[in-house]
Amino acid sequence: MLLQVRDLNVTLPDQGQRLHAVRGIDLDVAAGETLCLVGESGCGKSMTALALMQLLPRGAKLAASELRLGDLDLASLSEKKLSGIRGRRISMIFQEPMTALNPVFTIGDQLRAVYRRHTGASAGAAQARAIEMLESVGLTNAALRMRQYPHQLSGGLRQRVLIAMALMCEPEMIICDEPTTALDVTTQAQILHILKEAQVSRNMGMIFITHDLGVVARIADQVAVMYAGRIVERGPRQSVLRTPIHPYTKGLIASVPKPQGDKPGTARLASIPGNVPAFHQADARCPFLSRCALRMEACFTEPPPIRQLPSGQQVSCHLPLPAQEAQSQ
């Protein structure tokens, strides 16, 4: 396994208490595989990504029984070692490319700097590599783009620059946090295509964070559904999307506007009533309890059991499994 995470926890300071933002999650990503982390905003997806990059905000605390990238134990590395690994072995692409690019340096300055820092290459070699990478993500006039500043590029072009930057040193693993959310639909489709192609051709592992199930359907191999800091359901894309088991996953899928039926624009996303709760204490009960229409007595008293299904799905819920699935338990 390329990336292996066990019992990852992140807490943040919040008005004198600790907010439990990520609660005991496990992740496995193989080389050449895309894992989509799905859920509403505020459910811990971005915090999970930042924990994997060891880029958590000040005051955050991370604990994990395992946090490995290939042969590296990420949790035990010094900041100096980590900065040699970020961008070289594991890269991240953020939602808003403007925050990841420095406004006072040209695109070329920034691309060359990343490559030279990690490889010690000459300025000329870094220039050639940067142009090659810009062209590989579909940028025309790469030599001209190299001389431009971030504000001179559109959102879609900036995101391509960031993808080129993330791929400069051929990382084994790439983490994308809603990289297409700020873009128009056509540009979104192009960026997704570029990322997926880059991932497959390089046999990279990819974690792709999104709240958009349409994106999941297009690019995921595996899906993990997060709710209030926990993974409530996971499994192969087809099983999770076609036969979701957890009431939260079902709600997410049911809230996607259908192409037929409702008039365009009338269907509502995120129609599950209520909000993602914030957890201050260690509460082992189901995080979806306050919003679940199917909750029963056990849900109030016992932590939900983790169930393994023959489809490869894993669900954390008290509900009885569908008949044919339960038989083969």
Least separation, in Å, of the C-beta of 237 and Mg ion? Answer: 21
| 199 part of the interface to Mg ion, by CB under 5 A | no
Sign of the C-alpha dihedral computed for residues 303, 210, 201 and 168 taken in this order: negative
CB of 293 to ligand SF4, least distance (A): 8
Single out the residue of 98, 121, 189, 319 in contact with ligand SF4 (rule: CB under 6 A): 319
**Per CB under 6 A, which region of 19-27, 32-40, 123-131, 316-324 contacts ligand SF4?**
316-324
For ligand SF4, the binding residue among 125, 128, 289, 321 (CB under 6 A) is 289
Task: From 13-21, 82-90, 106-114, 317-325, give the range in contact with ligand SF4 by CB under 6 A.
Answer: 317-325
Interface residue with Mg ion, options 9, 34, 46, 110 (CB under 5 A): 46
Decide if residue 174 touches ligand SF4 (CB under 6 A): no
Residues 6 or more apart from 289 whose CB is under 8 A from it? 295, 299, 300
Tell me which stretch binds Mg ion (CB under 5 A): 18-26, 41-49, 108-116, 312-320. Answer: 41-49
List the single partner that 46 binds among ligand SF4, Mg ion, none, CB under 5 to 8 Å by kind. Answer: Mg ion
Binding mask 221-260 for ligand SF4 (x = CB under 6 A): -------------------------xx-------------
**Largest Cα span, the chain:** 68
Look up tokens 């995921």; give the residue.
220
Structure tokens at 167: 């791929």
**Residue 292 sits in the site that holds ligand SF4 (CB under 6 A):** yes
Residue 286 binds what, of ligand SF4, Mg ion, none (CB under 5 to 8 Å, by partner type)?
ligand SF4
Beta carbons of 130 and 117 less than 8 angstroms apart: no
Options 45, 295, 307, 309; binder of ligand SF4; rule CB under 6 A: 295
Binding region for ligand SF4 (CB under 6 A) out of 43-51, 56-64, 153-161, 292-300: 292-300
From the list 3, 8, 299, 309, which residue makes contact with ligand SF4 (rule: CB under 6 A)? Answer: 299
Binding site for ligand SF4 (CB under 6 A): 246-247, 286, 288-289, 292, 294-295, 299, 304, 317-319
Binding site for Mg ion (CB under 5 A): 46
